[in-house]
Amino acid sequence: MKSIIVGTAGHIDHGKTALVKALTGIDADRLEEEKRRGITIDLGFAHMELTRANGDTLRLGFVDVPGHERFVRNMLAGVGGIDLVLLVIAADESIKPQTREHFDILQLLGVKRGITVLTKSDAVDPEMLDVVRLEVEEFLRGTFLESSNSPIVATSSLTEAGIEELKHALVVAAESVEARDSHAIARLPIDRVFTMKGFGTVVTGTLVAGTLRREEELELFPTRRRVRVRGVQVHGHPADFAVAGQRTALNLAGTSMEDLSRGMTLTTPATFETSQRMDVQLRLLPSAPRALKERTRVHFHSYTMETVAEIASLEGEGPHSAFNGNAKIGRPGIYPGQEAYARIKLPNAALLLPGDRFIIRQFSPVVTIGGGIVLDTAPVPRAPMSIDFLRTMASGDAEATLRMRIARRQGEGISISRMIAETGWTKSVVEGGLKRALAQKDVVRLADLFLHAPAVEALKLRTVHAIGEFHRTSPLVAGINKEELRAHVGASGEVFEAVAAMLVTDKKIEFSGDLVRLPGHGVVMKDEEAESKKKIEEAFSTAGLRAPALHEVIAGLKVDKTRAQKIVTLLLRDKVLVKISDELVFHRTALDHLRRQMAEYKTKTSKIDVGKFKELTGVSRKYAIPLLEYLDRERVTKRVGDAREIL
């Protein structure tokens, strides 16, 4: 069963609500004040089913909007999710101010299908009806409702003239409406919140994407609260699930009316992120009273959400400025009739996705001045802003979009979950869109991380160069510490490990413990450095356990203190020397001899104290205590009271 959402639009008192009632039998005016005053104030809803040409059932959900200029904000909360519009124009009044504003809004929102309805046809004679029809045809020329593409149907809700013709036109128009994607990630912008006795908290909205099921857990944006769907209704009837394109009511558990309001969105948990900044393609209406200058404040509407926002152009100055690849934020301005790329800043983070449509209204006086489409809700900090990137986003080319989102992350890469959050596309769509890029090796995949192949190659070169520079400046050190290298080249742990593994495979680098070096690279010493190394080693090897003070040995060398310390570090790393305390360093042969002495002593007795140790080794207490503590650490001895047990 195909389901579509039909919205009304038009001036106040042109018969929108009466028309919906004539079609569906449902009075969409639900508020007592609306019935008392005889005008629509807030959104109203109705539904009906018609039979398609192939015999299948067509389910229509109607969103009836207020026509008064004071309630345009309510109208905007309803038309964001419609598939088809009924532009209602009264035959006895023709085109009026809200006809024009509502129609501007429909075009800015990208509505592609609709029917123009001349209501109150019974209130005028045939000649007058023909005149109005001509006026309307002229008004709609060049738009999606041009009479050559879309019918103009004259009706009377009072006499029901033209109602059957309109139903037929709805069926025909609905055939060309592309069904919304029920397999996409679910999103339900909330337009009503209320409680029902025996049920609790209920929200309603137009399900713009995906499928929602009973007992499913959802996430509420922007608060990130988790809620459970206790029950689902579609067009007033209980259902196990609702699909995209249906008016949906959800009975929620885990929340109350105080936690909910129009403008919030329910969606699949742990999928999306909110954002305060977004890059958009914006069109300013020719009727806009003035240009949008830097950081102009406007009223911002998208789906059921309304907030205040600041707008800055992402392009050069002037009404005819060309798009350029080096644009910077904050250059005025956007002029009436101009289409431009812009950045919008919201006061609070909200859930919006690329492809979402929006409307902007002047801050004061409040009139509709423009609108457009969201291109990117995740601008990358410090990444160069490219108009080419935004052009690609606007083109709708999924593969190019994914490639550019990966490329702008450079060596950082982007995870598949982050890609889903940035695009709103499912995992299968993302993976499918990157198949060719992966096959062509333009993109590299590491588990769930995607990287731009040229960025990976640049990172490889940077890594090898950094190691080479380290060898050049530190010839007495065998290699650079792995973490130090990673920080130097500016890669995440996961990316660095993968790049390092590639370089090892290509025999461009090699590891020695935590040190990274170029293949075959060893310590390179000058003559005086080699001589100093020999002197240090001899000083400690000949001293045995009566090791000299390290600073005294260094002081007697020909090389400077810095190079001497590097030579000592090299000897310690190669375990020629062993540091057992902050002050004492021994040659490994002396410590090996000590171990043999302890093993031989154990054949006589299993215990030894400090005095016996001094007697055995011939060292003073200055050496004895640190050496015994070293043996404890090495599990050669174990302290028991004032003595040691030889293990």
| 41 within domain boundaries | yes
Range of the domain at 250: 187-267
The domain boundary, picked from 456, 489, 524, lies at 524
The rounded distance, in Å, linking the Cα atoms of 194 and 262 is 11
Query: Is there a single domain that holds both residue 46 and residue 152?
Result: yes
| 544 within domain boundaries | yes
Domain containing residue 318: CATH number: 2.40.30.10
| 638 within domain boundaries | yes
- Of 457, 459, 426, 462, the closest CA to residue 442 belongs to 457
DSSP letter (8 states) at residue 642: T
The domain boundary, picked from 144, 175, 206, lies at 175
pLDDT, residue 325, reads: 38
Angle, vertex CA 95, rays to CA 41 and CA 137, nearest 5: 130
The rounded distance, in Å, linking the Cα atoms of 334 and 198 is 53
Query: Is there a single domain that holds both residue 369 and residue 401?
Result: no
Residue type, 597: Q
| 182 within domain boundaries | no
Query: Is there a single domain that holds both residue 284 and residue 320?
Result: yes
Q: 65 vs 18, 169, 174, CA distance in Å?
A: 12, 21, 20
Query: Is there a single domain that holds both residue 333 and residue 460?
Result: no
pLDDT, residue 323, reads: 38
Instruction: Count Cβ neighbours within 10 Å for each residue of 89-111 and write b for 16 or more, e otherwise.
Output: bbbbbbbbebbebbbbbbebbeb
| 635 within domain boundaries | yes
Query: Is there a single domain that holds both residue 493 and residue 418?
Result: yes
pLDDT, residue 326, reads: 39
Query: Is there a single domain that holds both residue 434 and residue 365?
Result: no
Query: Is there a single domain that holds both residue 375 and residue 411?
Result: no
Domain containing residue 603: CATH number: 1.10.10.10
In residues, how long is the chain?
647
Query: Is there a single domain that holds both residue 54 and residue 151?
Result: yes
Helix-, strand-, coil-residue percentages of the chain, each rounded to 5: 35, 30, 35
List, for the chain, all residue ranges whose pLDDT scores fall below the cut of 50.
317-330
Cα atoms found within 13 Å of the Cα of residue 444, Cβ hemisphere only: 18
DSSP secondary structure of 488-541: HHT--HHHHHHHHHHHHHTTS-EEETTEEE-TT------HHHHHHHHHHHHHHH
The domain boundary, picked from 457, 489, 524, lies at 524
Assign 3-class secondary structure to 370-414: EEEEEEECCCCCCCCCCHHHHHHHHHCCHHHHHHHHHHCCHHHCE
In the numeric block, which tokens belong to residue 308?
Answer: 């205040």
Query: Is there a single domain that holds both residue 332 and residue 454?
Result: no
Q: Give the alpha-carbon dihedral of 120, 122, 128, 134, to 10 degrees.
A: 50
Tell me the β-bridge partners of 4.
Answer: 60
pLDDT, residue 477, reads: 75
| 181 within domain boundaries | no
Cα atoms found within 13 Å of the Cα of residue 368, Cβ hemisphere only: 28
Query: Is there a single domain that holds both residue 17 and residue 144?
Result: yes
Q: 591 vs 534, 548, 552, 627, 643, CA distance in Å?
A: 19, 15, 21, 9, 20
Q: Which residue has the tokens 């090897």?
A: 541
Note the maximum CA span of the chain: 129
Domain containing residue 69: CATH number: 3.40.50.300
How many structural domains does the chain have?
A: 5
Q: Which residue has the tokens 């040659």?
A: 587
Query: Is there a single domain that holds both residue 12 and residue 48?
Result: yes
| 282 within domain boundaries | yes
**Chain CA centroid to CA 569, Å:** 47
Contact 562, 569 (CB under 8 A): no
| 140 within domain boundaries | yes
The number of helix segments (H) and strand segments (E) in the chain equals 20, 32
Helix, strand, or coil here: 456? helix
The rounded distance, in Å, linking the Cα atoms of 230 and 240 is 10
Query: Is there a single domain that holds both residue 152 and residue 8?
Result: yes
The rounded distance, in Å, linking the Cα atoms of 60 and 248 is 12
